[in-house]
Chain A
């Protein structure tokens, strides 16, 4: 896992979405924040995932949502889905 998972553009974007959806200051969200610390419960998680799907144009499977417990896991999950999407698009172009 890259040490700067939360500081690159994608990481910042995920943090922004979490902060906006949760109605909390963006400074209060770091890659190391847990959902418990941010008072994100399962219902908030559904809202956040809904916004992330829209922001990154990805489809996050239901099962994955329940497993998310930290901001870093969320960033990593989104990154995987975004990379998978661009691989699929690239192979489709060949």
Chain B
């Protein structure tokens, strides 16, 4: 089996337009969850979210690009550009054919879809924009990445709600580890602040009326977020041979389905995903220093995830540091796994655990070593990053600190 190096990372979300900006906000403990730019009419029941308000598409895309690329695809390409630039890879010749692109997105081009419906049903105009289909398709980001970088290998998009990106990264990891491909651009993106989607979340009654406070006893639900994040993963020896800096390593991946309920979580499914990921990484719970939790901020998720961590980690749960960065960048649905995996990788690199901000009060049902409100310096070797989706689909990644920092 091949080792899988991280040689590039890219991210754009409410925290910033690149990894440097996002990490600075993360470690300073400043949440990017803010009042919505469009409060809705009538107003949405929740008035905050983590919008990527400083993302200026025209700063890095042409007007022509914006004709074909929907917001979620722009996030995917912007993150991929940063990751590929950092890796220094050029996908010429055989490498281009042996490089994969695997992305995650839950809802794809929701804005384009809603624009079409608006014309049809609100304006009684049957002339829907001709590019609605390519703008809406969930693989628009993956396809544009292949076009831009001339990557000719396997490319596809996984859609498993909030686990989309972890499933995507896990697949890319396994493809490199098994020797099927040499490299992969992998992660995910999502743009959630469309009127139709916000109304649907409002009706689900799981969005907090205030910025989310994961694991806090007085938590009232999740806060939505948007953005994209990508890794360049590369076969270890390939990276070494070309003298690339190895900034981290993917060492394990595990997944499971609850087969319990379409929206209610249960502890056994997430526990099995974490257990499988540890076995895949050939690590024991004692060797894990940090867990970037799914930590949505709903009563049900955080209590269930805590129970699952306790069940898997046993006595080691006393030591392992846990935080939910969703308190900083919101819940970016299909992009959540990618954003959180990149921040987890950066945590390992910088030996700093990101904080769970807005935390006020310990909850006996979340009896974990929560890193609350302030980032914490700590020696970190390996970390888990969890995602659990509606539909009961769970995916856990295991990352290790790289040799070149």
Q: Which residues in A have some Cβ–Cβ distance to B below 8 Å?
A: 41-43, 46, 49-50, 62-63, 65-66
Contacts and interface: CB of A to CB of B under 8 A. Distances in A.
Given A62-B45, A62-B221, A43 B205 contact: no
B205 A46 contact: yes
A62 B45 CA distance: 9
A42 B263 contact: yes
A46 B264 contact: no
Given A42-B264, A65-B205, 20 more contacts: A41-B261, A41-B264, A42-B263, A42-B300, A43-B261, A43-B262, A43-B263, A43-B264, A46-B203, A46-B204, A46-B205, A49-B205, A50-B203, A62-B45, A62-B205, A62-B209, A62-B220, A62-B221, A63-B220, A66-B299
Interface string B249-289: 00000000000011110000000000000000000000000
A62 B299 CA distance: 13
Contacts of B45: 62
B300 to A, nearest CB: 8
A33 B268 CA distance: 30
Most buried by B among A46, A50, A62, A66: A62
Nearest to B300: A42
A29 B341 CA distance: 48
Nearest to B203: A50
Majority DSSP secondary structure for residues of A touching B: helix
A69 B65 CA distance: 52
A20 to B, nearest CB: 18
A8 B220 CA distance: 35
22 contacts: A41-B261, A41-B264, A42-B263, A42-B264, A42-B300, A43-B261, A43-B262, A43-B263, A43-B264, A46-B203, A46-B204, A46-B205, A49-B205, A50-B203, A62-B45, A62-B205, A62-B209, A62-B220, A62-B221, A63-B220, A65-B205, A66-B299
Interface of B: 45, 203-205, 209, 220-221, 261-264, 299-300
Nearest to A49: B205
A16 to B, nearest CB: 21
Contacts of A43: 261-264
Contacts of A63: 220
A6 to B, nearest CB: 25
Contacts of A65: 205
Nearest to B45: A62
A82 B130 CA distance: 48
A66 B60 CA distance: 45
A41 B264 CA distance: 9
B151 to A, nearest CB: 41
A46 B45 CA distance: 15
Contacts of A50: 203
B203 to A, nearest CB: 6
Contacts of B264: 41-43
A49 B261 CA distance: 19
A44 to B, nearest CB: 11
Nearest to A46: B205
Contacts of B262: 43
Contacts of B299: 66
Contacts of A46: 203-205
B261 to A, nearest CB: 7
B47 to A, nearest CB: 14
A65 B209 CA distance: 15
Contacts of B263: 42-43
A63 B218 CA distance: 12
Going nearest first, the 8 A-B pairs with the smallest beta carbon separation are A62-B205, A43-B263, A46-B205, A65-B205, A42-B264, A50-B203, A46-B204, A43-B262
A10 B263 CA distance: 31
A38 to B, nearest CB: 16
Contacts of B300: 42
Contacts of B209: 62
> In this complex, which of B45, B205, B299 has the most chain A Cβ atoms within 10 angstroms of its Cβ?
B205
A65 B262 CA distance: 18
A49 B205 CA distance: 10
Contacts of A66: 299
A42 B205 CA distance: 10
A66 B221 CA distance: 12
Contacts of B220: 62-63
B376 to A, nearest CB: 32
Contacts of B205: 46, 49, 62, 65
